[in-house]
Amino acid sequence: MDKATNQRHFSVMINDRIADRLEQFCSTVGLSESAVVEVAINYFFDDPQVINGLMKGYREMASLNREISHDFSCCEEDADVHLTQYRQGLQNFH
């Protein structure tokens, strides 16, 4: 693996399960967490199947989210009407 001449620092939030797996893996193979993360990131970017799979998944989820939003927009509009009426009732009460 080529060492970059310039290094940049990134903060990434991961859950405890992933952190434990990373720590265990690094301990087992004797590599630093930074080295392992660099390998994983390079693998991710270098594997077009991973990228294509993610893009396909995001497109499918976008379509599903659009359908869900459409199906429930009337509920949201109804809730907004009721909330507006409730707020007006509170204003009239004071």
CA 94 to chain centre: 44
pLDDT given at position 1: 52
For the chain, domain boundaries: 16-92
Confidence (pTM): 0.47
pLDDT given at position 54: 82
pLDDT given at position 94: 64
Mean pLDDT, each 10-residue run in order, the chain (94 residues): 72 94 95 92 87 88 90 87 88 73
pLDDT given at position 19: 96
